[in-house]
Amino acid sequence: MTQSPIRVLFVCHGNICRSTMAEFVLKDMVARRGLTEQFHIESAATSTEEIGNPVHPGTAVVLREHGIGGFEGKRARQLRRADYDAFDFIIGMDTANIRNMNWILGGDPDGKVLKLLEFAGTSRSVDDPWYTGDFETTYADVRDGCEGLLAYLGM
């Protein structure tokens, strides 16, 4: 019997910086561990502002600097209520994301909505490099959160 993949959806405001970075960082981590078939990983936005747009250039640069690719065809999409049933983990980057995610999803009765850095043992938010311009710090936070998620899953 084949086990269903673990379905992870990362969410941020626009889906061009943080959530996209998390999507491709986690995809890279699971690939390096030989676990690609055990995961389905996507990302989405709470807002409509960037829908259809590609990855932010700063995100692309930092991902490439860390040897991560595969994001070239990625386009921002908005979180949908149907995503709640489609994913096992719906992971936001900050408190505002979590609030907006719960509104879009109609609540979180199954406890699927979580903040990324909770997996790294902190309640801090992942700062938005759209405002800070610091994509490297965002990458470090995203990496730590994704490593924590894999540890939580025993992988």
CA atoms lying within 13 Å on the CB side of residue 121: 4
39-54 residue pLDDT tens:
999 999 999 999 999 9
18, 28, 83, 143: the catalytic one is 18
User: Catalytic residue at 18?
Assistant: yes
Answer yes or no: pTM beyond 0.85: yes
Q: What residues does each domain of the chain span? A: 6-152
Six token digits for residue 115: 């903040």
User: Catalytic residue at 81?
Assistant: no
CA 66 to chain centre: 17
12, 17, 83, 141: the catalytic one is 12
C-alpha–C-alpha distance, residues 104 and 152, integer Å: 26
Domain 6-152: CATH class, spelled out: alpha beta
User: Catalytic residue at 12?
Assistant: yes
81-126 residue pLDDT tens:
999 999 999 999 999 999 999 999 999 999 999 999 999 999 999 9
128, 141, 143, 146: the catalytic one is 128
